[in-house]
């Protein structure tokens, strides 16, 4: 019995609580507000830009819905970031704890929506690139809106049990003689059958299946882009210039979406596997592994928030059409000046190229 006690004590980490609180402070109270602000502004701008008439396409319909889902996810995450503030346990903030289970529900739902919207536009891009004739029929804005509506409804309904996993609990603190409020697990969340079915379903539907699909489809898309670039390099005749230009634009769209998927997989995969680990091994206080897993949870959740806030930057970096529409929408004076400069430079380049061709022909 004494040896058993010593074994348990050796696993305790007296500094774990202090380290975890320090990590929560820097992530939840410093880093998260900054990322949420950037993400809310960036996703709002993306929604405005992608809904312009000149940006109308089935792909941009998916990206608009993704921006909305990411925007909502960031707002719900910001609401959750207050949960560890000590003064919120006071009875004055009962309303916060009352709505917290529903906030957890919508946070999970919007995360799931982002996952399946990413899969949806990757499947659409695969059809458009690898089966272009079929893509003209299947890849339409009307069909994209139907898929988006289905994804939102499906993810919200299948995570609808989340609010019933928690219950607001009031308790009188004998030391301060004040009512303290906490969120406790209900019998449903502690039920082994429910845990097995629900968490296995979530792991399959929102982790393994999407990640496998994204990895497989991205591999095919990258091969298709490389093959297209090789074919374009082999085209030297003048009559192929128009086709080459269109194909180059398609490749840019594909590479932009591949970049979005890569960022998604980098930021989402660690959190997904941590959830699976915690399902099989979830130690309680004061075990040192409890603090390790909670600390990693804070870091990986923050990575998901970064993913939700970063797509705007990828669009700006990789899509010329997005940047032009952004300039025309928010900075029309600068856009017209840039267009005049670009036209002037293009005319000079065209003149120089034509001169080179004439010289080459005469020689």
DSSP for 253-269, written as a single string: HHHHHHHHHHHHHHHHH
Which tokens sit at 278?
């915690």
Task: Tell me: do 158 and 302 sit in the same domain.
Answer: yes
Tens of pLDDT along the chain (363 residues)?
Answer: 434 333 333 445 557 778 888 888 899 889 999 999 999 999 999 999 999 988 999 999 999 999 999 999 999 999 998 887 878 888 888 889 999 999 999 999 999 999 999 999 999 999 988 888 888 888 899 999 999 999 999 999 999 999 999 998 887 766 666 777 888 888 988 888 998 888 888 888 988 899 899 999 999 988 888 887 676 565 544 444 444 566 677 778 888 888 999 999 999 888 878 877 877 787 877 778 888 888 898 999 999 999 999 999 989 888 888 888 888 888 877 655 555 554 444 444 444 444 434 444 444
Q: Measuring CA to CA, how many Å separate 204 from each of 70, 89, 304?
A: 21, 36, 19
Task: Tell me: do 263 and 345 sit in the same domain.
Answer: no
Residue 6 counted as domain residue = no
pLDDT, residue 141, reads 94
* Three-state secondary structure of 273-293: HHHHHHHHCCCCCCEHHHHHH
Scored b (16 or more CB within 10 A) or e, 20-55 reads: beebbeebbeebbeebbebbbebbebbbebbeeeeb
Residue 281 counted as domain residue = yes
Residue 7 counted as domain residue = no
Task: Tell me: do 292 and 348 sit in the same domain.
Answer: no
Residues 6+ apart with CB under 8 A from 213: 119, 122, 123
Which tokens sit at 224?
């298709």
The C-alpha atoms of residue 292 and residue 313 are separated, in whole angstroms, by 32
Tell me the pTM.
0.83
- Could you tell me which of 70, 105, 59, 113 has the C-alpha nearest to residue 252? 59
Task: Tell me: do 51 and 132 sit in the same domain.
Answer: yes
Which tokens sit at 204?
């399959």
pLDDT, residue 351, reads 44
Backbone angles phi, psi at 291, to 5 degrees: -70, -35
The C-alpha atoms of residue 10 and residue 288 are separated, in whole angstroms, by 9
Tell me: cis bond preceding 342? Omega within 30 of 0 counts: no
Task: Tell me: do 71 and 209 sit in the same domain.
Answer: yes
Residues 6+ apart with CB under 8 A from 155: 109, 110, 112, 113, 116
Instruction: Write the CATH number for 63.
Output: 1.20.1070.10
Task: Tell me: do 315 and 338 sit in the same domain.
Answer: no
Which tokens sit at 28?
């939840």
Task: Tell me: do 341 and 326 sit in the same domain.
Answer: no
**CA terminus-to-terminus distance, the chain:** 98
Domain count for the chain = 2
Task: Tell me: do 210 and 354 sit in the same domain.
Answer: no
Residue 228 counted as domain residue = yes
The residue whose two tokens read 């040192």 is 288
Backbone angles phi, psi at 235, to 5 degrees: -85, 115
pLDDT, residue 6, reads 36
Range of the domain at 176: 15-330
Q: Measuring CA to CA, how many Å separate 49 from each of 43, 54, 71, 312?
A: 10, 9, 15, 10
Look up residue 238 and give its DSSP letter.
G
Backbone angles phi, psi at 169, to 5 degrees: -120, 130
- Which residues share a beta bridge with 171? 180
Task: Tell me: do 211 and 326 sit in the same domain.
Answer: yes
The C-alpha atoms of residue 63 and residue 257 are separated, in whole angstroms, by 9
- Could you tell me which of 331, 337, 340 has the C-alpha nearest to residue 45? 331
Residue 95 counted as domain residue = yes
Q: Identify whether the C-beta of residue 65 lies closer than 8 Å to the C-beta of residue 148.
A: yes
The C-alpha atoms of residue 166 and residue 92 are separated, in whole angstroms, by 20
Task: Tell me: do 322 and 179 sit in the same domain.
Answer: yes
Question: Which segments of the chain are extended strands (E)?
Answer: 166-173, 178-185
Task: Tell me: do 215 and 340 sit in the same domain.
Answer: no
pLDDT, residue 155, reads 96
Task: Tell me: do 340 and 252 sit in the same domain.
Answer: no
Backbone angles phi, psi at 198, to 5 degrees: -70, -45
């Amino acid at each position: 019995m004494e040896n058993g006690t010593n074994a348990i004590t050796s696993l305790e980490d007296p500094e774990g609580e202090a380290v975890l609180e320090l990590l929560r402070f820097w992530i939840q109270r410093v880093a998260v507000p900054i990322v949420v602000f950037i993400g809310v502004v960036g996703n709002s701008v993306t929604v405005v830009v992608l809904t312009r008439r000149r940006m109308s396409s089935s792909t941009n319909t998916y990206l608009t819905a993704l921006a909305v889902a990411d925007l909502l996810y960031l707002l719900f995450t910001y609401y959750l970031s207050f949960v560890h503030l000590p003064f919120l346990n006071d009875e004055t903030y009962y309303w916060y704890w009352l709505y917290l289970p529903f906030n957890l529900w919508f946070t999970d739902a919007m995360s799931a929506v982002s996952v399946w919207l990413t899969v949806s536009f990757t499947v659409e891009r695969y059809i458009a690139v690898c089966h272009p004739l079929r893509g003209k029929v299947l890849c339409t804005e009307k069909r994209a809106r139907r898929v988006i509506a289905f994804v939102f409804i499906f993810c919200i309904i299948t995570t609808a049990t989340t609010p019933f996993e928690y219950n607001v609990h009031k308790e009188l603190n004998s030391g301060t003689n004040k009512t303290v409020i906490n969120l406790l697990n209900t019998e449903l969340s502690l039920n082994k059958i429910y845990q097995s079915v629900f968490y296995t379903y979530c792991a399959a539907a929102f982790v393994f299946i999407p990640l496998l699909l994204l990895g497989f489809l991205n591999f095919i898309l990258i091969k298709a882009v490389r093959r297209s670039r090789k074919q374009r390099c082999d085209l030297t005749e003048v009559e192929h210039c128009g086709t080459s230009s269109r194909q180059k634009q398609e490749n840019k769209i594909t590479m932009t979406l591949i970049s979005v998927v890569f960022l998604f997989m980098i930021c989402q995969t660690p959190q997904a596997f941590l959830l699976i680990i915690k399902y099989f091994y979830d130690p309680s206080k004061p075990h040192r592994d409890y603090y390790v897993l909670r600390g990693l949870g804070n870091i990986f959740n923050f990575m998901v928030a970064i993913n939700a806030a970063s797509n705007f930057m990828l669009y700006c970096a990789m899509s010329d059409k997005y940047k032009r529409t952004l300039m025309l929408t928010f900075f029309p004076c600068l856009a017209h000046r840039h267009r005049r400069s670009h036209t002037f430079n293009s005319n000079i380049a065209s003149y120089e190229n034509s001169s080179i061709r004439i010289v080459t022909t005469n020689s």
